[in-house]
Structure 1
C-alpha cells in the first residue's frame, strides 16, 4: 500500500494543488465558481421565499405539504451552496440532518392528510 502511495504521491499533490487553485479568487476559474455559487445562493433564497408564501397562503393542505417538502430540499441546496462558498465541511453535517428531517416531515404530512380523509 505504501508503495502505491509513494509512486503516485506527486499526482495526488498535483490534484490537490489544482483543487486549491480552483477555490482561489486569483484565478478566472475561482472567480467563475464563486460567481455561479453566489447566483445560486440568491436563486435559492428567492425560491425559498416563494415556498414560504405557498406554505402560508396555500389554498389546500396538499399544496402546503408539497411546498414544505420543496422548502426542505431548497434549504438543503442552500446549505450545500454555502458549504462550497465558505470552503468548509462545517455545514455538511447540517445537510444530512436537514435531509432526514425533510423526509420525516413529508411522511408526517402524508399521514396527516390520509387520516383527515381528504384525497391526496
Structure 2
C-alpha cells in the first residue's frame, strides 16, 4: 500500500470543466422526430423514428444528469483537496529552514565552526 497520495487538482478542475461542456452539449442537443417524420414518408418507419427520438430524449436527460453529477464530484474533490492542503499548511505552519526535509531533528553543533576537531 502506498504511503502517500498525489492528487493533480488542476486535472480534477479540467475534468470538471470538460464534463460541464459535455453536459451542456448533450442538454442542448435537440431531437425532434416530428420534423423528420414527413421526410421519411413511410408511416411505420416514421412511427419507429419518432419512438426512437422519444427514447433518446429520456436517455439523454438521464445521461446529462449523470455527467453533471460527475462534474460536481470532480469539482468537489478539487475543492476538498485544496481545503485540506490549506488546513494542513496552517496547522503545520511554515517549515523551519534549519529542519531537514525528512523532519528529523539535527543534533546541536559541538563547535562554533561546525568542523570536527578530530582525535586528541
User: Normalising by the residue count of structure 2, what TM-score does the alignment of the two structures yield?
Assistant: 0.40
Q: Which structure has more RCO (C-alpha within 8 Å, separation ≥ 6)?
A: 2
Bigger Rg, which one: 2
Greater helix content: 1
